[in-house]
Amino acid sequence: MESPFTYILITLFFSSILLSIIFLMTWQTMGKQKYALMFSLSFLASSVLWANSLFKSLFLSHNLYWMIGCSVSMLSVLLGTWGHCLRTNTKINPATLLSLGVFGMALTYYFTYISPHLGLRMSLYLYIDVVLLMITSVVIIQHRIKSRPAEIGASALHFIFAVCLFIAASIALAQGKDMDVELIKWYAIVNFTALPAAYVGMSVFVIYMLASDLAEEMKLLAMTDLLTNCLNRRGFYIQAKQTMLELQKQQQHVCLIYWDIDKFKAINDQFGHAGGDQVLISITQLIKLHIKKDDLIGRMGGEEFVILVGRSHYQDAINVAERLRAIINHTPIPFGEQKINVTASFGVVELNDQNIPIEQAIDLADTALYQAKSSGRNKVVFSEPQSF
């Protein structure tokens, strides 16, 4: 009768193959992101690890079996860590991770062939895995200020998996140079009970995390203007409401700058819609270069845009609008071999009431913009601070 451990290994083998295929398909369908490919290769390495254990009896040399198992184990964890670093844009040199793996392999080889020591041979590669898993756990949880539930779960499961490996490694190390039958039993219990559960749980949360990434990308796509890559009207309304509250809590002066490109229809008539589109793209890129990263910019439709800014004083917002107007006025837009001269009009309103709806705030700024248009264009008009 087969040992229960054999059935566990078979389950882990087929689970790893399935997960490798899932992440390979994810790589192919999600823009061939490198991190998805790393995850696929990581689970493929894991399947080799479980197959190595299943066919242990076929090896003529136990030491060869052990070295292959240790190598593939570290390779699997290393590829997973590298994948998470790629996903989070963490600046960890892959050579550093590879060096850590090579160091672990060299020590394992030394205590397997040169100076045999059972405890060190069985534990050192696991300690390397623990370090890599801990790095992964930290990388995931520190990726953003407010982690998503999937990221919290994935980070926690990587940590739990690392703890399980640490316990297994410590039990193995406690044997010393020679085998301790009682400790080997405990080592097997940890290896074939807690570890498989943590491994499967970690894998599921990684899938959940990538699904969460995809959902967030779809949500962002639904709120983005495809031509200018600004927020669209819906996206601006959603994000501006939260941003206004946060800025007002910080005692910032919140201002709306509503602006549009002067005589845009004439630009379309003279240069065609391709020329008009180029103006919209170039002007929004120019604007983004001259506002803060945290300022919100949205396209309300056509040639009309809105910017939400938070500044320490109302005068700062006035300066932003005037500076943007001057930059646009003095920056011709290249279009083929031609240059398109563009001006824009701006309406600015300060929002000092936390209860004002964003729609009403835009109406006020739009009124100021209308005044700028009526008085000759290429101007900035400031609405007086309002109380509601």
CA dist 114 and 95 (Å) reads: 27
pLDDT of residue 353: 61
CA dist 160 and 205 (Å) reads: 13
Contact (CB, 8 A) for 112 and 66:
yes
- Give start-end residues of each CATH 1.20.1070 domain in the chain: 4-221
Q: Which residue has the tokens 């100021």?
A: 368
* pLDDT > 70? residue 99: yes
Mean pLDDT along residues 131-142: 94
* pLDDT > 90? residue 318: no
Strands 344-351 and 380-382: parallel
Contact (CB, 8 A) for 238 and 220:
no
Q: How confident is the model at residue 240 (pLDDT cuts 50, 70, 90)?
A: confident
The string of pLDDT tens digits covering residues 331-343 is 999 998 899 999 9
344-351 β-sheet, strand order = 296-301, 304-311, 253-261, 344-351, 380-382
Q: What is the largest CA-CA distance in the chain?
A: 93
- Give start-end residues of each CATH 3.30.70.270 domain in the chain: 233-382
pLDDT of residue 388: 45
The more confident residue out of 189 and 125 is 125
Dump strand ranges (E) for the chain.
253-261, 296-301, 304-311, 333-335, 338-340, 344-351, 380-382
Indicate the class that CATH gives domain 233-382. alpha beta
Mean model confidence pLDDT for the chain: 88
pLDDT of residue 1: 42
The more confident residue out of 277 and 318 is 277
pLDDT of residue 360: 83
| Per-residue tokens: 335 | 């279009």
One-letter amino acid at 242 equals Q
Q: How confident is the model at residue 174 (pLDDT cuts 50, 70, 90)?
A: very high
Q: 123-132, 221-230, 375-384 — which is least confidently predicted?
A: 375-384
Question: Which CATH code fits 4-221?
Answer: 1.20.1070
Contact (CB, 8 A) for 184 and 173:
no
Q: Which residues are catalytic?
A: 303
Contacts of 261 (CB under 8 A, 6+ apart): 267, 279, 280, 283, 303, 342, 343, 344
